[in-house]
Amino acid sequence: MTYIYLKAIHVMAVIALIGGMLVLAFALTLVAGRRDALSEGEARFVARIQHWDRMVTVPALGLVWAAGISMAIIGQWYWAPWLWIKLVPVLVLSALHGMEAGMLRRLAQEPGGELPGMLRQSAPIIFACFVLIALLAVVKPF
């Protein structure tokens, strides 16, 4: 019974995490490459996104990890190849979230910076990682 509740928490946290990361990716496209300072409205919008990230997306990331590790322990999947393969895109998403949040903070303070390649492609990377993770978690092919 505990497993099913952990799974529900995990899925809800993943939805919040992916949504928050996609919003960060969108915000980055709005502020990247600008030559002038953000308008008052744009600055408020970016501040709201940053607040949402701190209050929703970051805790969701923690819940995803905690519930995922707990389910792996309950399921005794320590050496399941699908789980170890799944960890690669999970780590990519975790690192990408930190990169997105940090870059948005920098660009909000000093507009004009360009996005590094990985951040320019963050939305497709998020989507691809999510699809791979979902496939591995549901199908458990190995």
In the predicted model, is pLDDT for residue 3 greater than 80? yes
Where along the chain do its domains lie?
2-139
pLDDT band at 34 (very low <50, low <70, confident <90, very high): confident
Average pLDDT over residues 105-128: 88
Percent of the chain at pLDDT above 70?
Answer: 100
Contact 138, 109 (CB under 8 A): no
pLDDT at site 20: 97
Mean per-residue pLDDT over the chain, rounded: 92
Of 8, 10, 28, 17, nearest to 94 by C-alpha is 17
Spatial distance between the Cα atoms of 25 and 16, rounded to a whole number of angstroms: 14
What amino acid is encoded at 19 in this protein? Answer: G
Spatial distance between the Cα atoms of 92 and 125, rounded to a whole number of angstroms: 9
Spatial distance between the Cα atoms of 32 and 51, rounded to a whole number of angstroms: 19
